[in-house]
Amino acid sequence: MAESKYGKYILKGAGKPETGPAGVTSAVIEGLKDSAGIQHRLYWHYISEPAAVVEEPRSHDYDEFLVFIGANPAEALDLGGEIELSIGEEGEKQVIDTASIVCVPKGLTHCPLNITKVGKPFLFCNITLGHE
Amino acid sequence: MAESKYGKYVLREPRSEPPPRRTTTAPGVSISEALMSGFGKIDCNFNFVGVLAPHVLADPPHEHNCDEILFFIPADAENWPELGGEAEVALGEEWEKHTITTAAVICLPKGVQHAPIFMKRVDKPFYFGHILLASSYGSSAIDAGVTF
C-alpha cells in the first residue's frame, strides 16, 4: 500500500503472549496507552486451569469491565468454568459460572479474583478506560 | 368464474420458505445503558460477536460523535497473534482498505468514518466487537440518515 492515512489507528498483536499463573496466558495489544487520543487498555487472558489471577483488593480512578466468555465463539455464552470475585470493601464474594460482564465503576474496590473451576477453556478480558 | 385454465399461473400472496442460510455469527455478551441501570451508567457500550463464517457486516460506512474501539481477537492463544481468519476494514471517507490477519485493535477517534467491514476468511472462529465510549450505540451516530 502506498502511504497510509489511517494505518496509525490500528494496533496489531505481536510477539508471544505472556504466561502468568499456571493456566493463564495473557496478551495485551501494545500501543500507546492513549492511542489516537483514546485512553484505554485491553487485556486478553486465555484461561485453561484454575488460578489465582489477582490476589489483592484494588480500586482505581478509571472505569473497568471484566468480561468472561467461552472460548468457542459459536457458543460464547457457555462459559464452562467458575470464577470467584470479591467486590466492595467488605469483600462480598460473587460466584460467576455463566458468560458475564462485571462493571467496575471508578473507585469500586474489587478482587481478589480466583478462577476456581475450568471445565473447558474460556476467555477473560479486561477493558480499562483510562491510564493504568 | 368457471373453471380456470390459466389461474394456475397466478400466484396470489406467494411466500416460499427462505433458503437455508449459513450461520455467520453467534451472539456473545454485550452491554449498554439499560443493563447498567442498577448502579448508574458508565459511558461505554460494547459487544462481543463470534465470527463463524465469511460475511460483510450490515453497517454501512458511518461515524460517531465519540471515540470507538474495534477489536479482532483469536479465540485461543495457541497461535497468537494469528487471528484465524482475514478481515478487511475500510477507514476514512476514502474507504482506505486495511487487511487484518492478526489480533488487532482499531482506535477510531470521533468523526473518523469506518466500514464496510468484510470478514473475508474464517479458518477458525474468532471474536469481533466494538467498544464505544458512549452509553448507547444509537445516541452516537452522526449520520442522521442511518439508523442503528
Per-residue pLDDT band for A34 (boundaries 50, 70, 90) equals low
Provide the grid cell at B52: 463463524
CB neighbourhood size of A1 (10 A): 8
Angle at A103 between CA A94 and CA B27, to 5 degrees: 95
- Of A15, A29, A103, nearest to B105 by CB-CB distance is A29
- On whether residue B105 sits in a domain, the answer given is yes
Q: What is the mean pLDDT of chain A?
A: 89
Q: In this predicted structure, which of A1-5, B24-28, B111-115, B123-127 has the lowest mean pLDDT?
A: A1-5
What's the Cα-to-Cα distance from A99 to each of A21, A77, B29, rounded to whole Å?
22, 5, 7
Superfamily of domain A18-129: Jelly Rolls (2.60.120.10)
Per-residue model confidence (pLDDT) at position B41: 79
Other C-beta atoms lying within 10 Å of the C-beta of residue B37? 8
Chain B positions in Cβ-Cβ contact with residue A100 (cut-off 8 Å): 29
Provide φ and ψ at A79, rounded to 5°: -75, -50
The CATH number given to whatever domain includes residue B49 is 2.60.120.10
| Whole-number average pLDDT of chain B | 89
Domain containing residue B46: 25-140
Task: Assess if residue B56 is contained within a domain.
Answer: yes
Of A129, A127, A124, nearest to A25 (Cα)? A124
Domain contains B3: no
* Averaged pLDDT, B70-74: 96
What is residue A30's predicted lDDT score, i.e. its pLDDT? Answer: 63
* pLDDT tens readout for residues B3-52: 899 999 998 888 988 888 889 999 999 998 888 888 887 889 999 999 99
Q: Kindly report whether the global pTM for this prediction surpasses the value 0.90.
A: no
Min Cα distance A82 → chain B (Å) is 17
The strand pair at A10-12 and B114-122 is best described as: unpaired
Whether B4 is covered by a domain: the verdict is: no
Of residues A13, A25, A38, nearest to B103 (C-beta): A13
Residues of B at the A interface (Cβ-Cβ below 8 Å)?
A: 26-29, 31, 36, 39-40, 42, 44, 46, 48, 50-52, 67, 69, 71, 73, 75-77, 80-81, 91-92, 94, 96, 98, 100, 102-109, 112, 125-127, 131, 133
- The sign of the CA dihedral A25, A29, A33, A38 is negative
CB contact under 8 A, B76 and A73: no
Q: ipTM value of the model?
A: 0.92
Q: Is residue B108 part of a domain?
A: yes
Judge contact between A114 and A53, C-beta under 8 A.
yes
Confidence of residue A12 (pLDDT cuts 50, 70, 90): confident
Q: Which of A29, A35, A67 sits opposite B48 (nearest CB)?
A: A67
pLDDT one-digit tens code per residue, A122-132: 999 999 887 65
Look at residue B148 and tell me if it is in a domain: no
Tens-digit pLDDT profile for residues A55-112: 999 999 999 999 999 999 999 999 999 999 999 999 999 999 999 999 999 999 999 9
- Give a yes or no: residue B106 inside a domain: yes
Partner-chain contact B77 A75, CB within 8 Å: no
Residue B148 pLDDT > 50, yes or no? no
Q: How close does chain B come to A38, measured CA to CA in Å?
A: 7
- Please judge whether A36 and B67 are an interchain contact, meaning their C-beta atoms are less than 8 angstroms apart: yes
Split into its structural domains, chain B has a count of: 1
Of B48, B51, B104, the CB nearest to A29: B104
Q: What is the DSSP letter of A58?
A: B
Nearest in space to A45 (alpha carbons), one of A18, A76, A16, A84: A18
**Bridge partners (DSSP) listed for residue B18:** none
